[in-house]
Amino acid sequence: MISKKNIKKAISEFEPDLIICHHLYLLTAFVREIVKDIQVVGICHGTCLRQIQSHDLEKEYILSNIKKLDAVFSLHDEQRKEIIGIFNIDEDKVFTLGSGYDEKMFFNEVKKLNNDSITITYAGKICKLKGLKSLINSLDKLKYHKEFININIVGDGSSKEEYEEILELAQNNYFNINFLGKINQEHLSKLFRKSHIFMLPSFFEGLPLVVIESLACGCNVVTTDIPGVKQWIGDKINNSGKIGYVDLPKMKDIGIPFEKELSKFEEELANVLNDMIASILSEDTRNKKLHMKDKTWTGLCYRLENFIECNRVWCDII
């Protein structure tokens, strides 16, 4: 358990000029409260915003201390607006930094992938929030025979009930759906390089790093149009034919769609997936190369360096 004693011990040993905290939540608020003479900044990953809006655990304490951070980094511009609104924080303190992927782990091979059959992969938590039930339902609307489509689902779930419900739905699907469990990043990158399409039908995300990791490995992508993501991905990739977006259904709460909206959502999901498969077969878009240097860890470091040079909040540090 983190305590004041442990934090003060770490500060004494490392003598930091800057403390970077991940997630705008309880621990970051705690650090901001007890550290007075060192700049403290927070990085938002999205889940913290969902937590602060979903329940009241130390809510006022968190809101008060996050507001006192010296700077906050958001993943994209839409999230930046959300942070400013939720925490009532000075907009001059909130900066869009984005994210980055490990280019040494996630990369595209030189050899082409053949299109004799299509492999579709999902990677993430096995739960309703990720839209997996809608993904499985949408597969029944594909126009292809059973042996032509292979589906992999990677990950595990925190709710046994939800996992078993999704597993049962998959077992009754026309196509064979393989549950591979939780795998390490090296195995995942190899799986992406053997896949034609990465699917992310999620109802809520911050900035889904797995989208750019799969793109970096050569996959085409079908994903929900999560606020801010299309803008962060950028026109070059958005217009490449390598990525397709599906409108989110109307939500009754964060990440929870109205049931009556799901049929339309699943229909659109199937349509975009059908179009993506057609583009792979007719135009070989799966083997189209993308230049993604700005989305790598190196690109992220360049953005951070440029930020330090351009923003006064850091003057005392540099």
Q: What CATH number is associated with residue 240?
A: 3.40.50.2000
Question: What integer is the mean pLDDT of 80-92?
Answer: 95
- Does residue 124 fall inside a structural domain? yes
pLDDT at 314 > cutoff 80:
no
243 and 134 in a single domain? The answer is yes
Split at pLDDT 50, 70, 90, the class of 318 is: very low
Residues 6+ apart with CB under 8 A from 268: 246, 247
Q: Bigger pLDDT: 254 or 281?
A: 281
Say what the pLDDT of residue 311 is. Answer: 64
224 and 125 in a single domain? The answer is yes
- Does residue 80 fall inside a structural domain? yes
152 and 284 in a single domain? The answer is yes
- Does residue 112 fall inside a structural domain? no
How many structural domains is the chain composed of?
Answer: 2
255 and 302 in a single domain? The answer is no
49 and 85 in a single domain? The answer is yes
Split at pLDDT 50, 70, 90, the class of 45 is: confident
286 and 208 in a single domain? The answer is yes
20 and 165 in a single domain? The answer is no
Structural domain boundaries enclosing 202: 118-295
260 and 301 in a single domain? The answer is no
- Does residue 113 fall inside a structural domain? no
Say what the pLDDT of residue 305 is. Answer: 79
- The model's pTM is 0.83
8 and 156 in a single domain? The answer is no
Say what the pLDDT of residue 158 is. Answer: 82
- Does residue 68 fall inside a structural domain? yes
Q: State the chain's mean pLDDT as an integer.
A: 92
- Does residue 109 fall inside a structural domain? no
262 and 306 in a single domain? The answer is no
300 and 227 in a single domain? The answer is no
- Does residue 14 fall inside a structural domain? yes
- Does residue 152 fall inside a structural domain? yes
Say what the pLDDT of residue 63 is. Answer: 96
Say what the pLDDT of residue 251 is. Answer: 94
Segment among 46-55, 180-189, 209-218, 261-270 with least mean pLDDT: 46-55
11 and 147 in a single domain? The answer is no
pLDDT at 1 > cutoff 90:
no
